[in-house]
Amino acid sequence: MASLVRSWIPLLILQSFLVAVAFGSKEAEQFSEALLLKPLPDRKVLAHFHFENRAPPSNSHGRHHHLFPKAISQLVQKFRVKEMELSFTQGRWNHEHWGGFDPLSSMNAKPVGVELWAVFDVPQSQVDTSWKNLTHALSGLFCASINFLESSTSYAAPTWGFGTNSDKLRYGSLPREAVCTENLTPWLKLLPCRDKDGISALMNRPSVYRGFYHSQRLHLSTVESGQEGLGSGIVLEQTLTVVLQPETTSVETNMQPSWSLSSLFGRKVVGSCVLAKSSNVYLQLEGRLGHESKNVDTEIEAHKLWKNADFDLSLKPDRVLRESSGLLFIFDIDKSSDSEPFDLGLNWKLPSKWSCQQAPLQASRFLMGSGNERGAIAILLKATESQEKLPGRELTDGRCTIKANIFQIFPWYIKVYYHTLQIFVDQQQKTDSEVLKKINVSPSTDKVSSGMLEMMLELPCEVKSAAISIEYDKGFLHIDEYPPDANQGFDIPSALISFPSHHASLDFQEELSKSPLLSSFKEKSLVRSYTEVLLVPLTTPDFSMPYNVITITCTIFALYFGSLLNVLRRRIGEEERFLKSQGKKTGGVKQLLLRLTAKIRGRPIEAPSSESPAAESSFLSTKLIFKIILIAGAAAAWQYFSTDK
Amino acid sequence: MKARVFQKLIGKYMSEMGAEVYYQKFHPEGNQFHPLHFFSGPDSYTLLDNVSCASYGVNVAGIIRAPRGDGKESIVLVTPYDFINGGDYEALSLGITGTLFSLLARVTWLSKDIIWLVADSRYGDYRPVAAWLTEYHSPSFKDSDLLKCGELNTADKFRRAGTMAAALVLKVDGRSERFEDTLSIYAEASNGQMPNLDLINVVNYLAVHRQGFYVKVEKVVSLLSSSWLKIIGEIFEAVGKLAHTLNPDWNFGIPTADYLEGSATLASSLYSQALGIPTGPHGAFRDYQVDAITLKVSPRFPPDSKTRQHDFFLRGAKLLEGTIRSVNNLLEKFHQSFFLYLLTSPSKFISVGVYMIAFALLVASLPMVAASLYIDGCKALNNSTLNPAGNFKSWKWLDAAKQVFALHLFGLIVTLLPYFICQVPGQHSPSNRSIMWGTTSSSLLLITFATIPGCSPFSSRRHGTNWAVLKSVTISAAFIGLCLMSIINFATAEIGALLLVPTCLIVQPIKPALRSRRIKSLLGAFCSMVLLTIGFPVMLFAISKGLFGEGLVGLSLGGEFWTWLESLWAWKSATYLYIGMVHLPCWLLCLCILFHPS
């Protein structure tokens, strides 16, 4: 991802810089919007919104931006961020049906919750401070608890397993973060047209969040101008990927559902964002490379591409591009207006089936063992059907091999025993030296830092399955380290499986337009997939225990002080005399019986009201006050003498 | 062949609903008779060397992924089904779960994945579920011959869906005897472990108040008609009424019928927990700390009446849906309610705080009696012997302790003997094996008595161990054993204490009692004789069989007893250890005291 951006951006920046020089700096900032729609094999539709905002290098600090969000540029300047990516995801990416070997999935299939990584342009000693400050700034900016990544137990510094080789990289993820509109709204505020105009106007909250998968991503990278005295330019890429289920009326199960933009989102596009340089809608159809690929030039053949026996589109595409595995229709939405809104529809006429290209190995991860003491984590890699067709095989020592990188963070309460690492290839246990090419382990420290495992596997090409298992002990947390919902269990963040020798890209047969979305697809991107988040049940204390302790302590205190006061205050002799004077009226035994029955019946005694002498009570109270003062004096003296030593 | 077709049909049905389907092969031989596996967790996958393709079961499982869920947790639905001779009732349970599953595949409120497991119940209800759970939690990455068997390709991925939050096992069997549809809840897992009470409460509430099922838990039927219990119940009712007239706030009186029902249920609950054998396939889940119960539904109509089926499907599926929805909506797993409890009805229970009191009161007498006996015994020794070794006053108990230790060692050996008897080559009937066991044990006992001096109750040595000291040490040993057992399996300790405590307290040498011819001592001797007869494990087994309405079985009793013990061992029940290592030695020691030559 980073490499692709870095490699082609200088050219464009240089070009835009020249433009800026020619026309003044106002035109230099560029914004473009695009929407990619793609029917998926399992009767769903993928919508990928892509917004790109570029600020060219400038020499004045604190300058005013025209289009570029000020918050982001300040962030970059303050924390010296070289590259950063933040994603909010809900739901799981279905690698089997939605693909795993195209640029779209390798860039936008993200782990559940929040994921953040950043590369800083500061001295090594300041990286951690910058990271901590950045998490707090982002937390405020996006209304999310990203600041939990501040603690050193929740982030790691991958060296090579993440795909970007840098020692100033920090990576952290929060699997439990719930994603909702409160995160989308600040994200939209970074766009010049917000969601008022252009493609982003389609983002109707209920329909966006009704989807099966929802991932909003923000990627920014700085571009060095290379010139003396100039600052660096920033490229901000914002994408939103949603997978929606079109509502169908047809009962036929193998028929793909027909849809239109208004049926998917409940809204239509009326014109583009006026600030955008380009605003396009793309429709990608996979697996229909066809029969009629000989000459597209004639008008009839081109017409056939979008209105044929299988399906028809409601609008005529402006251009049709062919790539290795399908067709790409390009629509320009500039022409649409209030009277004639852009409402692209796809109508299927015949049942059709195709499959997505999958990553060479499909990864799944699960927990093993039972009990609250120990367990094991296993990562299972299974060969997919498309494995043999994929490029990117390597020949080492005459053997054909597939390389796979595994990057995994372990929270400190998962105490991993790295020596228990076992690797099975095709149900045969292998020694580490046979399949492990590289491994980098940084063990966790209790309550201080999380553990990290990076390893590079070299598997034979004809591998059917590979399994890795590693054992761990479950740690004990201090009572105030438990989260509010401790009894749910604790999350282990997703592992990242990447294939360093495989790169995904769309290969267009024609020359490329200037669209940023397409050029990012054309760039080679590393094939990567995230595994599931795991839930480890840890031993949890009975959280009501402190309450019980408080209750019993208070009871003991009450009993102690109550009886003490009783002893000090009550005058037994007086009471006896009082009782005797009472007893003249009713007999002692009779009184006792009366009390007993009253107690049994649960009613108070209907005692004959006897006026108590007021003088006596006041006398009592003065005596009481005197005694209390005496006790207080004794206590003070005791305190004085005991502290004196 | 029929089985394969059925399995494929179910798999096809599941995948049409949008679920991920897979088949899992497993071996019917599950519980191996193996020594000292009692408190170990579930078996790690043991590879069988000579796998035969002749008999293996196939589980069908389907997973619905929660549309917006994160896939961390799952809820499991299990329907045992015999693919070869499954009856109409079993088909009904498949139908209920199937309808529910198709509903769940379409709903949007799921936050946890749903797994539906159709367990191949040809090899029992428990084994297929246990095999599936083993594969789920501790798979073997090594090559297995089983995968190559048969034409059904199970090599495709075994799929998982995160940590299990709860599991429900649904079974439909028999016709209800009552007017309503009946729902029986089974919850006891191995070693008396119970699922969280909240799960039972949720099911009970939904079944009674929403779907109108008649909910019951198992009870000892013979207790319902017993007259002495009825008399006690009537007394309680009368006392309750009297108390109510005295003070309207005192409402502890319950009707006799309720009291009878409650006692019968409590007895059954206590018995099933004490036995330590799971009462259904849900027991396999408890080994992995998953709350699970078995729901056995009996419809009030015959299974072939089509008109009533619709209503039954609807209500059964609604009950399950409600339960799944309750679990689904929980952020945390069940932890608020009790794990240690005894049921007295589907909606009433006795918690640990209450039932521990009875046990504590029962056991508390033991150390006190032991102390007083020890002091008495020391005095008696001082009076009777004037040996010069009086300096070692505090070591008086050593002789007795030797004897107690020897007999406990004997108990341990007897406990381990069945393992070696099982290794004896050749096929033996259970009665033969029990005879082998009996003879070896008794000869061992004779050897123990012969080799260790002072052990035998029949030794004529006048100045052997003092019986009071011996009894004191015996009581201490029993006390320690009972307390340990109450931590492991409370119900066993409770029943054990009911038998052992009176025996230990009442037993006295019979000779002086006969000699004195006083009515009090004769009565005591008679009582101890009766208690000791009842206390013999085989006798106890016969009585409990009789109590549960299965009748005495005469000569085959030995064989029955053997199979019973074998099942205890196979299920890793700690009750077996208790019988062998606490109950039997203490019983023998009491016998020694009874025939003590003093």
Q: Cβ contact (<8 Å) for A370 and B287?
A: yes
E strands in B524-580: none
pLDDT at position A13 over 70: no
> Which of A253, A382, A489 is opposite residue B163, by nearest beta carbon?
A489
Helices and strands: H and E segment counts in chain B: 20, 10
Burial pattern A537-562, b for ≥16 Cβ within 10 A else e, equals bbebeeeeeeeeeeeeeeeeeeeeee
| A213: three-class secondary structure by DSSP | strand
CB-nearest partner of A382 from B16, B42, B157: B157
Partnered with residue A430 across adjacent β-strands are A423
Return the amino acid letter for A460: P
pLDDT for B386 equals 52
Question: DSSP code of A607?
Answer: P
Q: Which of A118, A240, A266 is nearest to A187 (CA)?
A: A240
Rounded CA gap, B242 and B230, in Å?
A: 18
Selected residues 414-473 of chain A with any CB under 8 Å from a CB in chain B: 422, 424, 427-429, 467, 469
Q: What is the DSSP letter of B28?
A: S
C-alpha distances out from residue A448 to A153, A155, A413, A443, Å = 6, 11, 11, 11
Name which of B67, B70, B246 is nearest A212 (Cβ-Cβ).
B67
With contact defined as beta carbons under 8 Å apart, do A329 and A339 qualify? Answer: no
Whether the predicted pLDDT of B38 surpasses 80: no
Q: Is the pLDDT of residue B47 over 70?
A: no
Among the residue ranges A1-5, A194-198, B240-244, the one predicted with the least confidence is: A1-5
Residues of B in contact with A429 (CB under 8 A): 141-142
Q: What's the mean pLDDT in B257-267?
A: 92
- According to the model, what pLDDT value does residue B312 have? 86
Give how far the C-alpha of residue B426 lies from the chain's centroid of Cα atoms, to the nearest Å.
31
Whole-angstrom distance, CA of residue B133 vs CA of residue A268: 50
pLDDT classification of A443: cutoffs 50, 70, 90: very high
- Least CA distance to B287: which residue of chain A? A370
CA distance B152 to B302: 35
Residue A371, Ramachandran bin (φ over 0: left; ψ between -120 and 50: alpha; else beta): left
Is A14 at the interface with chain B, CB within 8 A?
A: no
Q: What is the pLDDT of residues B130-182, one digit of tens each?
A: 989 988 998 888 776 666 666 655 556 788 998 999 999 999 887 777 778 88
Dihedral over alpha carbons B494, B499, B505, B511 (to 10 degrees): -170
pLDDT in tens, B7-17: 889 999 998 88
The shortest CB-CB distance from A366 to any of B142, B160, B287 is to: B160
Kindly report the nearest CA distance between residue B249 and chain A, in angstroms: 8
CB-CB contact of A31 with A194 (8 Å) = no
Burial class (CB in 10 A: 0-12, 13-18, 19+), B216: middle
User: Which candidate in B68, B133, B572 is best for mutational testing of the A interface (most A CBs within 10 A)?
Assistant: B68
| pLDDT surpassing 60 at residue A608 | no
Instruction: Say if CB A277 and CB A30 are below 8 A apart.
Output: yes
Q: How far apart are CA B338 and CA B258, in angstroms?
A: 23
Three-state DSSP at A525 gives strand
DSSP letter for A311, please.
E
Range B518-530 average pLDDT:
87
> Per residue in A459-468, pLDDT tens?
888 888 899 9
* Structure tokens belonging to residue B545: 């069989």
DSSP string spanning A434-452?
HHEEEEEEE--BTTTB-EE
- With a CB cutoff of 8 Å and minimum separation 6, the contacts of B353 are none
- In this predicted complex, what is the ipTM? 0.86
CB A315 within 8 A of CB A69: no
Q: Give the bridge partners for B80, in sequence order.
A: B119
For chain A, how long is the longest CA-to-CA vector? 127
φ/ψ of residue A246, rounded to 5: -70, 145
Q: What are phi and psi of A452, to 5 degrees?
A: -145, 140
Please give the Cα distance from A214 to A93 (Å, whole number).
9
- In the structure encoding, which two tokens stand for residue B386, read together? 């004037």
SS3 assignment, position A536 = strand
Q: Is the pLDDT of residue A279 over 60?
A: yes
Residues B75 and B163: their CA atoms lie apart, in Å, by 9
Bridge partners for A403 per DSSP: A458
Between the two ends of chain A, the Cα-to-Cα distance in Å is 70
Question: What is the rounded distance in angstroms from the CA atom of residue A290 to the CA atom of residue A275?
Answer: 38
Query: Do the Cβ atoms of B277 and B571 come closer than 8 Å?
Result: yes
Map B329-394 to HEC letters. Answer: HCCCCCCCCCCCEEEEECCEEEEHHHHHHHHHHHHHHHHHHHHHHHHHHHHHHHHHCCCHHHHHHH
A533: closest chain B residue by CA:
B72
Please state the rounded mean pLDDT for residues A517-542.
Answer: 88
CA distances to A479, A565, A567, A599, A633 from A637, rounded to whole Å, are 39, 20, 22, 45, 6
User: Which residue on chain A is closest to B145 by alpha carbon?
Assistant: A427
Residues A323-378 have pLDDT tens digits of 777 888 888 888 777 788 888 888 888 888 888 888 888 899 999 988 888 899 99
Backbone angles phi, psi at A422, to 5 degrees: -125, 140
Q: What is the pLDDT of residues A473-493, one digit of tens each?
A: 999 988 888 888 888 889 999
- A202 has a pLDDT exceeding 70: yes
Predicted confidence at residue A579, as pLDDT, reads: 84
Helical H segments across A279-416, by residue range: 299-306
Instruction: Quote the mean pLDDT of chain B.
Output: 84
Q: What is the pTM of this model?
A: 0.86
Q: Tell me the residue type at B347.
A: S
Residue A613 confidence (pLDDT) above 50: no
**Average pLDDT over all residues of chain A:** 83
Between B192 and B323, the more confident residue is B323
Query: What angle is formed at CA A86 by the lines to CA A83 and CA A88, rounded to 5 degrees?
Result: 165
CA-nearest of B402, B403, B590, B583 to B508 is B590
Phi, psi angle pair for A115, to nearest 5°: -130, 135
- Is B163:B136 a contact under the CB 8 Å cutoff? no
The token duo for A584 is 């003249």
Instruction: Give burial (CB, 10 Å; 0-12/13-18/19+) of A508.
Output: middle
Contact B175, B302 (CB under 8 A): yes
- Is the per-residue pLDDT at A26 higher than 50? no
